[in-house]
Amino acid sequence: MDRKKIYTEVDEILDSYCEGCFLKTFHRKEKGKAYAHKFCISKCTVGEELRNYGKKLAVK
Q: Kindly report the three-state secondary structure assignment for every residue of 18-47.
A: HCCCHHHHHHHHHHCHHHHHHHHHHCCHHH
Distance CA 60, CA 56 (A): 7
Write out pLDDT tens, residues 3-36. Answer: 999 999 999 999 999 999 999 999 999 999 999 9
Of the candidates 19, 39, 15, 17, the residue with the CA atom closest to the CA atom of residue 27: 39
- Give the per-residue pLDDT at 60: 59
pTM comes to 0.78
Distance CA 19, CA 36 (A): 13
- Give the per-residue pLDDT at 59: 83
- Give the per-residue pLDDT at 40: 94
- Give the per-residue pLDDT at 30: 97
